[in-house]
Chain A
Amino acid sequence: MSGGRLRTQVGQLARRSVMRTMRQPAQIVPALVFPMFLLAVNSGGLRDTTNLPGFPTDSYLTFALAVPFVQGALFSVMNSGTDLARDIETGFLDRLALTPLRGAALLSGLLAGAVVLGLVQAATYLTVGLVAGAELVTGVPGALVIVALSVSITVAFGTIGLFAALRTGSGEAVQSLFPVFFVFLFISAMALPLDLIQTEWFREIATVNPVTYLLEAFRSLLFEGWEPDALALGFGIAAAVLALGMFAASSALKTRLVRT
């Protein structure tokens, strides 16, 4: 197949994915509202935490602002997975399978909706956070990197949704993953920096939980300044999840699409 045709396939499926996302406010609104709600509750209720010796910033709002970017990405698992599961349930995937469509084009196209959602989410979280008084010590360049990291995580998590949809073929099964992923968020350095977590087992789990390092990458840009190691780790984790997710989803697609 020529590169031109592959580009056309990816482009057309991306267009459909974006249209579907934009035409389903029920997908976009919760991904915007719930993380902001949690941010408001946490930054208000845990404000005095900044008095702990060694807490890295005077503004808990700034510290907590990293959370919505990861939390929003979790919605991407649900949204991209549910969309694909619906295609399987309705037979739309069979329609696509009858065309010369390549699996890579299908997966890439489907993730285009996640890119749009990631952009909208990142812009919203950052704007709301800054308006509410959060810091951003890295300025406009830092804001751009935050958006890029947010989109990367959203797309990476989206591949897990695609994998779940292809394995189960069920929208309900995909949605049941959401609480599982939420546990990962809570057992991380979400509320406190790693070195201030006193409970040993919690700290140990948070230390090996990749979500912690995604949060630290955002926090480095928000209140610590340019930290190449933290950013490399954040983008590296996103890239690793993306690679693993795409591999798993591609394998599941081969099983699901048993066309000869």
Chain B
Amino acid sequence: MTPADANGIEVEGLVREFKNGPRAVDGIDLVVEPGEIYGFLGPNGAGKSTTVLMLTTLLPPTAGTARVAGFDIVAEGPKVRASIGAALQEAALDPLLSGREHMRLQTALHGIGKAERAERGRKLLERVGLAEAADRRVGGYSGGMKRRLDLALALAHRPRILFLDEPTTGLDIQSRTALWEEVARLAVEEGVTVFLTTQYLEEADALAGRVGIIDHGRLVAEGTPAELKAEIGRPTVEAVPRDPGDRERLAAVLARFGLAAGASPRAAAARLEGGEAQLAEVVRALDAEGIAIETLQLHAPSLDDVFLAKTGRSLEGAGEDEEPEPGAEAEAVGSA
């Protein structure tokens, strides 16, 4: 049994082109195992949302194939939709309706029987902590409340696979953590497969069993966070000189040990080509140059380091170009 035959996802050579634009998705291959949380990490405009729209059947691919829950996304769209839940990039809610009214509409449209609708809605609203706000209009909800309602709506028909497109963008830490806990619980306790796109490194690190890194529509790395970091294997040393005037000299010394890395304004940093063992050499070199150091830190490799190694750019601020608007078919060049 392949992953897609159960509750998994299989993608082969998926492509999406837009008229007068680049290939938003340029030949992606990936497999998501049933019950797994798969983090799809990349900057703005990398192709994450376009991929999600294709996998959720809302946008036909230009080329390639994908099976979601065992169903072909082009030939068996209705069966795919019946198997999945999705919270897309914007929390698409009606500000004039209450949370409970949203649940009633969603459960009814999914064909849940009249007798079960109210109870299902009540339980889901309670689960995401919106029981007290259930009868308030959504226009008055905070960003975190809207995201939680979005999640509850995506779960209305008990989907086997859940697509979450940047579910915590714009949320405060508390709301973000609460959502992470709920997503993790869904995967662990209910066996729901989660395909999660994010531009937050810590989100992919904390939640995902495996991570795919996408850039310019291509999958540039894939593996568990630990595997990806181990693959890079280079820690970063960051130092703050006691005399701010020594910063340039400090950077020059660190450059002998590896490429410069992002650092705070007063500091300089470098990725140690020789790994942690070079730290003692770094200290000796700084001492030899007579540079007094206020603080010296060794950072383990992060997913940002992985992104940098694979793309030559840092993930933070990498996505300057927005993803092409995937809404209108009129803008598309062909479709499968």
Q: Provide the bound-state CA to CA distance between A20 and B138, in Å.
A: 13
A94 contacts which chain B residues (CB < 8 A)?
58, 88, 92
Partner among B59, B88, B90, B330 whose Cβ is within 8 Å of the Cβ of A255: B330
- Smallest CB-CB A-B distances: 8 pairs: A91-B92, A260-B77, A99-B109, A258-B329, A12-B108, A92-B92, A260-B57, A95-B92
Chain A positions 125-163 with a Cβ under 8 Å from a chain B Cβ = none
Residue tally, chain A, CB below 8 Å to B: 31
Q: List 17 A-B contacts (CB under 8 A).
A: A11-B108, A12-B104, A12-B108, A16-B94, A16-B97, A19-B96, A19-B97, A19-B101, A90-B94, A92-B93, A95-B88, A95-B153, A98-B81, A98-B86, A100-B109, A259-B58, A260-B57
A residues touching B (Cβ–Cβ < 8 Å)? 5, 8-9, 11-13, 15-16, 19-20, 23-24, 87-88, 90-92, 94-101, 169, 255-256, 258-260
Most B CB contacts (10 A, CB to CB) among A19, A20, A99, A101 go to: A99
Within 8 A of A (CB), among B9-59: 56-59
| B60 interface residue (CB < 8 Å to A) | yes
State the Cβ distance, B158 to closest chain A Cβ, in Å: 14
Residues of B within 8 A of A (CB): 56-60, 73-75, 77-78, 80-82, 84-86, 88-90, 92-94, 96-97, 101, 104-106, 108-111, 137, 153, 327-330, 332, 335
| Shortest Cβ distance from residue A173 to the other chain B in the assembled complex, whole angstroms | 13
Instruction: Quote the shortest CB–CB distance from A28 to chain B (angstroms).
Output: 13
> How many angstroms between the C-alpha atoms of A16 and B101 in the bound complex?
8
- In the assembled complex, the Cα of A88 lies from the Cα of B106 at a distance in Å of 17
In the bound complex, CA of A92 to CA of B102 (Å): 11
Q: How far is the CA of A58 from the CA of B105 in the complex (A)?
A: 52
- What would 12 more interface pairs be, CB under 8 Å, given A100-B82, A258-B58, A258-B332? A8-B108, A12-B104, A12-B109, A13-B105, A19-B97, A20-B96, A90-B90, A92-B94, A94-B92, A99-B109, A259-B77, A260-B80
Asked if residues B329 and A255 are in contact (CB atoms below 8 Å), the reply is: yes
**CA–CA, A181 to B74, complex, Å?**
40
Cα–Cα, bound, A5→B106 (Å): 13
Name the A residues within 8 Å of B80 (CB-CB): 260
- Closest chain A CB from B41 CB (angstroms): 22
Question: Which residue of chain A has its CB nearest to the CB of B139?
Answer: A23
Which residues does chain A contribute within 8 Å of B332, judged by CB atoms?
Answer: 258
Chain A residues whose C-beta falls within 8 Å of the C-beta of B82 in the assembled complex: 100
How long is the Cα–Cα vector from A116 to B60 in the complex, in angstroms?
A: 37
Q: How far is the CB of A239 from chain B (nearest CB, A)?
A: 29
List, in ascending order, chain B residues with CB within 8 A of A19's CB: 96-97, 101
